[in-house]
């Protein structure tokens, strides 16, 4: 008889390419916002990170949040959680040489990023395994699988939406292009 396997404590990353957002309007908003909002430095190096954006300040961000609310509701129901609410939204403008240090989003059940203007050479998002398995797995496995990987990389791509657990540590590679990577980030909690 074969062993029964069960998946416990998974690090799930949900992804989609969405086409219902006007990225040109979001790009214009991002540069206009940067003129009036000095921003903050949390995990970013060189790049600009706005202060939190309130719903109602930008119609396209409201449209994005309306879309993510539906996705978060579906995700929450599928995994047996109460539906969380949006707790904060901010934008990021990352020029050449900028990146984001390894971090997580405290107090967030779900976090996410939507790429307004991005290509892979502008810095992909990387998710890190943080369960200590890297100390036990062999250095050179025969094959990298979901089970044996210590890092997962997702492409920076215009229109890409990634949603992930807020506790999942992640970083963003450096922008090696000469154009800005622009993204909208958000957190959901109780």
* Coil vs helix vs strand at 31: helix
- Enumerate residues 6+ apart whose C-beta is below 8 A from 108: 87, 166, 167, 187, 188, 189
Per-position pLDDT tens, the chain of length 190: 899 989 888 899 999 999 999 999 999 999 999 999 999 999 999 999 999 999 999 999 999 999 999 999 999 999 999 999 999 999 999 999 999 999 999 999 999 999 999 998 999 999 999 888 888 988 888 998 888 899 999 999 999 999 999 999 999 999 999 999 999 999 999 9
DSSP 89-124: EEEEEE-TT-EEEEE--TT-SEEEEEEEE--GGG--
CA distance 164 to 110: 6
> Which of these, 67, 65, 64, 29, lies nearest to 50 by C-alpha position?
29
CATH number belonging to domain 14-189: 2.60.120.620
CA 139 vs CA 112, 130, 135, 136, 185: distances in Å: 30, 16, 9, 9, 34
> Residue ranges of the domains in the chain?
14-189
Helix (H) or strand (E) segment spanning residue 62:
helix 59-78
Residue-level pLDDT at 10: 86
Kindly report the number of other CB atoms within 10 A of residue 89's CB atom: 23
Structural contact between residues 165 and 11, judged by C-beta atoms closer than 8 angstroms: yes
C-alpha angle with apex 141: 136 to 144, nearest 5 degrees?
A: 105
Under a CB-based contact definition with an 8 Å cutoff, are residues 80 and 109 in contact? Answer: no
pLDDT for position 38: 96
Structure tokens, 43: 């995990």
């Amino acid at each position: 008889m074969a062993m029964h396997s069960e998946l416990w404590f998974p690090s799930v990353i949900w992804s989609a390419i969405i086409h219902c957002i006007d990225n040109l309007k979001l790009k214009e908003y991002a540069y206009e916002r940067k003129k009036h909002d000095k921003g903050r430095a949390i995990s970013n190096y060189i790049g600009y990170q706005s202060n939190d954006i309130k719903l109602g300040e930008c119609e396209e961000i409201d449209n994005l949040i309306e879309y993510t609310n539906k996705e978060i509701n579906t995700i929450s129901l599928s995994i047996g959680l109460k539906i969380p609410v949006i707790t904060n939204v901010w934008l990021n403008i990352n020029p050449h040489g900028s990146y984001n240090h390894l971090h997580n989003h405290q107090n967030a059940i779900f976090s996410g990023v939507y790429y307004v203007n991005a290509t892979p050479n502008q810095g992909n998002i990387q998710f890190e395994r943080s369960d200590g398995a890297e100390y036990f797995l062999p250095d050179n496995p025969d094959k990298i699988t979901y089970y044996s990987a210590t890092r997962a990389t997702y492409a920076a791509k215009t229109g890409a939406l990634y949603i992930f657990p807020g506790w999942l540590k992640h970083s963003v590679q450096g922008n090696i292009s000469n154009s800005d990577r622009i993204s909208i980030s958000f957190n959901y909690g109780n």
